[in-house]
Amino acid sequence: MKIQCDCGAKYAFDVAPEMVRGPVKFVCPGCGLDSSERVNELIRQQFSQPAGTATSAPPAVAGAQAPTAPVPIPSPPRVRLSQGGHAASAAETPDVKDTRFCSKHPQQRTTSKCRVCEKPMCPKCMELFGYVCSPHCQEKAELQGIEIPVYAGRKSVVERKQWGKIGLVVKLVAVLVVALVGVWFWYAWFGTRPHVAFAVRFANEPAMSGMSALCGPGQIVFVHGNRLARYDLKTKQEVWSRELVDKKKIADEAARELKERQTAAQRGEDLFKPPQLEELIRDMTRAAERELELHVQAQNIWVAADGKLVRYDWNSGEPRQAVAVGDGFSRGRTHGDEIEWRSGDGEGQMAVTRFNLTSGQARTNIIGEPSRSAGAQTAVPGPNAVAGKTNTTMTAKSSAAAKKSGAAKSKRPDPQKLAAQLADAPYAAKVAAPATIATALNQERTMGEIRSQDEDPASRSPAKAGADFEAHFTLIPTRDGFVQFSHRLIEEKFISHSAMKTPPKKSALDGNLSVTATTDVANELLNEMQRNAGNDQVVENVSRYAVRVRIGDGKNVADWSGEVVGPPALYPLASVNAIVAGKTLIVLDQSNKPKWQSTLNYPVPGGGDDSFVADDEAAAHRGLGPVVERSDTLYIFDQGVLSAFEVATGNARWRLPSVGISGIYFDDAGMLYVNTTTASPDNIKYSKQIDVSDRINAVVLKLEPKTGKELWKQTLSGNLSYLSGQYLYSVAYTGPRDDDDEINSDMAALGMETKPYLRIRRINPKNGQLMWEYFQPRGPLDVKIDRNTIQLVFQREVQVLKYLSF
């Protein structure tokens, strides 16, 4: 017979007719349920015995054997059979199970009982159903409303907790990722972009000059027009401010000058109409404001004006010390906390003054003797003479005269300027440009005829070829002292050659004028203007000069003398001194002896004018050059090539053709950055030729200094202006217009007039990619950058921009 217990366990056993007369007892080994009545009923049905028939059990006989109990299948079933009312002998009693151990897991001790059927259970049993032994008991508990507590060790509960923990971790990770993405997005698009950290606006008349300096703990000092002020950057409050220009004094001077001008006009001595008093006061005030120079070192605030330096108190802004600096201070160079400048007659005697901004002390070294003509009359400054400040406030007469002459000159159309404006003009402007240029050309022809009639041929003084010039004396301060450099003209010689292409045989105006031909027409008209103005020729100075170099006072080291072709210039370097003249480079060692010499491809830009060493701030904004010594290499750039020579031998390590190099930089790792352009050698050969379609852009190169290998190249809106560690900036701007700046109505209508603007770009030093761009549609008066801080001075506002950087 086969039966199935309520717990789901199945059993099979043999039955016999004797079981009808003697009921058996059946207990399920799995759940402990007593199913004897149901089993006996099934046995009676098996042998067709009515359920109520009474059958007498045979009397128990001593030693008699009980009926054989049926054995369930599988596993030995826990079936206990007995004769009704008769106890079996000990030998006939079935095996007794040890209830201390689980029947399903013999190696596990029972620790609990089923809350429904009270069956003993071990921990492994409880892992399946908890405090019930089977799904059947669990269903009974639900039907009977028996509250079964949750067993913490049940597999479903453990798995639910584990998945809960996993879900919590996933949620935390997701939240963290979202937060990181949000922080990165904010940092990339907002945190790293400059924002206004400080701003102060002025409602009075707009200033046309100004400077600023960050100093002290969160402090800014600036000059805006005639106002000197100190502000706290954290509180954004003014600490103090004061006016530097005496407006009453200027008004009195303006009134006196105007009266003199009116008297001269009545006598016919002044052909120009006298200006209005208000206009004259404004011009003289702005001239005085432009003379103001701000120098700040720690908490020492100095302002230069009227031939003197005035120190202002840090706490109150009151003037505390005044030091006379004389002429030449405006050409001073800043080195750390010192300012150096030169003064003298430029021929026989020169003085180099070093002023310490911290101590307020100045020391001057005078070299040479005054020239014979210096005491008798004011000498005309030579090529290397320093034009110093002679007056703080420009007189009304000279200001007005300069203004009138400048205005007359500005009315003449400049072909180069027109071409530059036309290159950036919109399409509509380029289409309309030929007509506008033609009108300007006719005006220029008329003005040229008038100028040729008014000019007195006798007033033209011919060049004095071969004249005997006195030796020109220049004193150049270095870190170790001074280097004296003098040169004397031996033979004057100039070579003139055309720097423009031959005009086309067929004019662009002869054919059918179409929209596509407007560029050719504009080029032809502009180049004709160049030739008519006499700007088609380039004059090259190939004169012979005798040069002399003296180190210090010349007592310890002998002078070096030589002869060169072309205007000479001296560049004192760390371990050598370099002389550049024309296309020749001569290198002298520390003993003032020739070390090596080389020939360049082109003349060095700026050579021969003023080789005074650039200051730290200027070098930071424009770059080093044209001659730079770094480690064991000497770098020099001429008009078209950047060359690297070994300092010891003069061997050329590499040469990089590049036209228009203006400065070089070195970062902390020694990598080389070059400010250059997209110009070609033809732009040097035909430097006066105009082609509005040939747009030359600023380019920044990053080179490996040992090999000259190009690491990256980027075309920017301006030159590289600042490099410090990870901070690399390109700055381009056009300053604000003065009230008197004339606007060409035709060019303004064509959209070719340059508007004031400011554009700062931060470049990634690793790959040259643009990190961000900051733009303002107004031109600044002054721009300074210090790592991640940008100082801006505008006509009506002073700003400090900052951004986050790690």
Q: Which pair of structure tokens corresponds to residue 600?
A: 């360049």
- State pLDDT tens for residues 243-301: 998 889 999 998 998 888 888 888 877 777 788 888 889 889 998 999 899 999 989 99
Q: Is the pLDDT of residue 92 over 60?
A: no
Burial of 742 (0-12, 13-18, 19+ CB in 10 A): exposed
Q: Measured between alpha carbons, how far is 82 from 70 in angstroms, rounded to an integer? A: 11
| 3-class secondary structure, 112 | strand
| 3-class secondary structure, 546 | strand
- State pLDDT tens for residues 363-420: 887 766 665 544 433 333 333 333 333 333 333 333 433 343 333 344 455 555 555 5
The CA-atom distances, in angstroms, between 444 and each of 338, 432, 518, 690 are 49, 19, 21, 17
| 3-class secondary structure, 550 | strand
Share of the chain above pLDDT 90, in %: 30
| Phi and psi, residue 46, nearest 5° | -65, -40
Q: Tell me, what's the pLDDT at 158?
A: 87
Average pLDDT, the chain: 77
Q: Measured between alpha carbons, how far is 467 from 492 in angstroms, rounded to an integer? A: 8
Q: Measured between alpha carbons, how far is 804 from 771 in angstroms, rounded to an integer? A: 13
Q: What is the mean pLDDT of residues 527-554?
A: 86
Q: What is the mean pLDDT of residues 207-230?
A: 91
| Confidence band of 593 (pLDDT split at 50, 70, 90) | very high
Q: Tell me, what's the pLDDT at 483?
A: 86
The 10 Å CB-count burial string (b at 16+, else e) for 574-596 is eebbbbbbbbbbbbbeeebeebb
Q: Tell me, what's the pLDDT at 371?
A: 55
Q: Measured between alpha carbons, how far is 739 from 779 in angstroms, rounded to an integer? A: 14
Q: Which pair of structure tokens corresponds to residue 294?
A: 């701000």
Per the listing, tokens 């799904």 go with 135
At 772, the amino acid letter reads W
Q: Measured between alpha carbons, how far is 89 from 692 in angstroms, rounded to an integer? A: 128
Say if residues 537 and 519 touch (Cβ distance below 8 Å): no
> Rounded to a whole number, what is the largest CA-CA distance in the chain?
171
H-state helical runs in 291-390: 372-376
Q: Measured between alpha carbons, how far is 616 from 333 in angstroms, rounded to an integer? A: 8
Say if residues 538 and 496 touch (Cβ distance below 8 Å): yes
Q: Which pair of structure tokens corresponds to residue 333?
A: 């160079």
- State pLDDT tens for residues 467-479: 333 457 777 777 7
Q: Measured between alpha carbons, how far is 208 from 223 in angstroms, rounded to an integer? A: 11
Contacts of 236 (CB under 8 A, 6+ apart): 198, 200
Q: What is the mean pLDDT of residues 732-758?
A: 69
Q: Tell me, what's the pLDDT at 424?
A: 55
> E strand or H helix at 420, and its extent?
helix 415-423
Say if residues 611 and 569 touch (Cβ distance below 8 Å): yes
Q: Is the pLDDT of residue 784 over 70?
A: yes
Q: Tell me, what's the pLDDT at 27?
A: 83
Q: What is the mean pLDDT of residues 155-181?
A: 91
Share of the chain above pLDDT 70, in %: 74
Contacts of 257 (CB under 8 A, 6+ apart): 280, 395, 396, 397
Q: What is the mean pLDDT of residues 175-199?
A: 88
Terminal alpha carbon distance of the chain: 85
Q: Determine if residue 45 is left, alpha or beta; phi over 0 gives left, psi from -120 to 50 gives alpha, anything else beta.
A: alpha
- State pLDDT tens for residues 615-659: 555 555 678 889 999 999 999 999 999 999 999 999 999 999 999
Q: What is the mean pLDDT of residues 21-33?
A: 80
Q: Measured between alpha carbons, how far is 245 from 228 in angstroms, rounded to an integer? A: 10
Q: What angle do CA 762, 763, 768 make, to 5 degrees?
A: 165
The answer to which of 99-108, 160-169, 178-187 has the lowest mean pLDDT is 99-108
Q: Tell me, what's the pLDDT at 377?
A: 38
Say if residues 208 and 795 touch (Cβ distance below 8 Å): yes
Q: Measured between alpha carbons, how far is 453 from 467 in angstroms, rounded to an integer? A: 31
Q: What is the mean pLDDT of residues 497-506?
A: 85
| 3-class secondary structure, 290 | helix
